[in-house]
A and B are shown apart, each in its own frame.
Chain A
Amino acid sequence: MAKVVSLDNLLASVAARRSEAAPWLGALIDAASEKFAHVGLPNRRIEAWRYSDLAKALHETVKVESDLDAPPALAEACVAAFENGVLDDSKSSYCAMGAQSLRKVLAEKDSPFAGIIGRINPQADHPIINLNTALMEEGLVLHVPKGVTLATPLHLRFNWSGVDAASADGRHLRILVVLDEDAEATLFESHDGAPSFATVVTELSLAPNSKLTHVRLENFAAAARQTAATVGSVGEKAAYRGFYFSQGGHFARHEALMKLAGEEADARIDAAYMVADKRHCDNTTVMDHAVPNTTSTQVFRGVLAGSSRGVYQGCVKVAQAAQKTDARQLSRAMLLSHRAEIVTKPELEIFADDVKCSHGATAGELDANALFFLRARGIPEAEARAMLVEAFLIEAMDTVENEAMRAIVIACAHTWMLRHAGEASHVE
Chain B
Amino acid sequence: MLEIKDLHVNVFGKEILKGLSLTVPPGEVHAIMGPNGAGKSTTSYTLAGRAGYEVTGGEIDFYGEDVTALSPEERAAKGIFLAFQYPMEIPGVSTMNFLKTAMNAQAKLRNEPELDAAQFLRTVRAAAKELNISEDMLKRPLNVGFSGGEKKRNETLQMALLKPRLAILDEMDSGLDIDALKLVAEGVNKLRAPDRSFLVITHYQRLLDYIVPDVIHILSGGKIVMSGDKSLALQLEENGYDAVINKAA
Check A-B contact in the complex, CB < 8 A.
Answer: yes
Q: Which residues of A contact B (CB under 8 A)?
A: 368-370, 372-381, 383-384, 387-388, 390-395, 398
Contact with A along B47-65 (1 / 0, CB 8 A): 0111100000000000000
Interface contact B90-A388, CB-CB below 8 Å: yes
With contacts A368-B51, A391-B91, A393-B92 known, is A381 near B71, CB below 8 A?
A: yes
Chain B hits for A378, CB < 8 A: 73, 76-77, 102, 105-106, 109, 162
Known A381-B71, A383-B101, A387-B101: A376·B90 in contact at CB below 8 Å: no
Is B93 part of the binding interface, using a Cβ–Cβ cutoff of 8 Å?
yes
Is there an interface contact between A376 and B72, defined as CB atoms closer than 8 Å?
A: yes
Given contacts A372-B48, A374-B102, 8 further A-B contacts (CB under 8 A): A370-B88, A373-B88, A375-B71, A376-B50, A376-B76, A378-B106, A379-B102, A381-B71
**Chain A interface secondary structure, helix, strand, loop or mixed?**
helix
Contact with A along B136-167 (1 / 0, CB 8 A): 00000100000000000000001000100000
Number of interface residues of B (CB under 8 A): 28
Q: How far is the CA of A392 from the CA of B76 in the complex (A)?
A: 24
Supply 30 A–B pairs (Cβ within 8 Å), ascending by A: A369-B88, A370-B88, A370-B90, A372-B51, A373-B84, A373-B88, A373-B90, A374-B90, A374-B98, A375-B71, A375-B73, A376-B81, A376-B82, A376-B84, A377-B105, A377-B158, A377-B162, A378-B73, A378-B76, A378-B77, A379-B73, A379-B105, A383-B101, A384-B73, A387-B93, A388-B90, A388-B93, A391-B93, A395-B91, A398-B92
Closest 9 CB pairs of A and B: A391-B92, A378-B76, A375-B72, A378-B106, A373-B88, A377-B102, A394-B92, A391-B93, A375-B73
The docked-state distance in angstroms from the alpha carbon of A375 to that of B81 is: 11
Contacts of B102 in A (CB 8 A): 374, 377-379
Q: Which residue of A lies closest to B84 (CB)?
A: A373
> Cα distance A384–B49 when bound, in Å?
15
Quick check: is B87 within 8 A (CB to CB) of the other chain?
Answer: yes
Closest Cβ of chain A: how far from B132's Cβ, in Å?
Answer: 21
Q: Which residue of A lies closest to B99 (CB)?
A: A377
How far is it, in angstroms, between the C-alpha of A372 and the C-alpha of B109 when the chains are bound?
17
- A383 CA to B51 CA, complexed, in Å: 18
In the assembled complex, how far is the CB of residue A388 from the closest CB belonging to chain B, in whole angstroms? 7
Q: Which residue in B73, B75, B84 is a CB contact (below 8 Å) of A380?
A: B73
A369, A370, A373, A393: residue with the most chain B Cβ atoms closer than 10 Å: A373
| Complex alpha-carbon distance, A383 and B73, angstroms | 11
B109 to chain A minimum Cβ distance, whole angstroms, is: 7
Contacts of A368 in B (CB 8 A): 51
| Pair A392/B101 contact, Cβ less than 8 Å | no
Whose C-beta in chain A lies nearest to the C-beta of B106?
Answer: A378
* Residues in B whose Cβ lies below 8 Å from that of A383: 101, 105
How far apart sit A335 and B47, CA to CA, in the bound complex (Å)?
31
A375 touches B76 (CB 8 A): yes
| Contact yes or no, B90 A390, CB < 8 A | no
Q: Which of the listed residues A368, A384, A388, A390 has the most CB atoms from chain B within 10 Å of its own CB?
A: A384
Q: Is the CB of B76 within 8 A of A377?
A: yes
Using Cβ atoms and an 8 Å threshold, which residues of chain A touch B101?
379, 383, 387
| Interface 1/0 per residue, B76-113 and A, CB below 8 Å | 11000110100110111100001001100110010000
Q: How far is the CB of B171 from chain A (nearest CB, A)?
A: 16
Q: Which residues on the A side are within 8 Å of B72 (C-beta)?
A: 372, 375-376
Chain B residues with Cβ under 8 A from A395's Cβ?
Answer: 91-92
- Is the Cβ of B105 less than 8 Å from the Cβ of A380? yes
Residues in B neighbouring A394, C-beta threshold 8 A: 92-93
| Most chain B beta carbons < 10 A, residue from A372, A378, A390, A398 | A378
Contacts of B73 in A (CB 8 A): 375-381, 384
Docked complex Cα distance between A348 and B2 (Å): 58
| Contact yes or no, A376 B49, CB < 8 A | yes
Interchain nearest-CB distance for A366 vs B (Å): 11
| Nearest chain B residue, comparing its CB with the CB of A390 | B92
Say which residue of B51, B87, B90, B109 sits within 8 Å of A391 (CB atoms): B90
Q: B158 CB to closest chain A CB, in angstroms?
A: 6
Shortest beta-carbon distance, A46 to chain B, in Å?
Answer: 37
Bound complex: CA A372 to CA B88 (Å): 9
- State A377–B163 Cα separation when bound (angstroms): 11
Report A247 CB to chain B, min CB distance, Å.
18
Nearest residue (CB) in A for B83 is A376
Which residues in A have their C-beta under 8 angstroms from that of B88?
Answer: 369-370, 373
CB distance from B77 to the nearest CB of A (A): 5
**Bound Cα distance from A370 to B143, whole angstroms:** 11
The smallest C-beta distance from B162 to any residue of chain A, in angstroms, reads 7
Output the least CB separation between B164 and chain A (Å): 10
- Residues of B contacting A391 with CB < 8 Å? 90-93, 141
- Within the complex, what minimum Cβ distance (angstroms) separates A295 from chain B? 23
Chain A contacts for B51, CB-based, 8 A = 368, 372
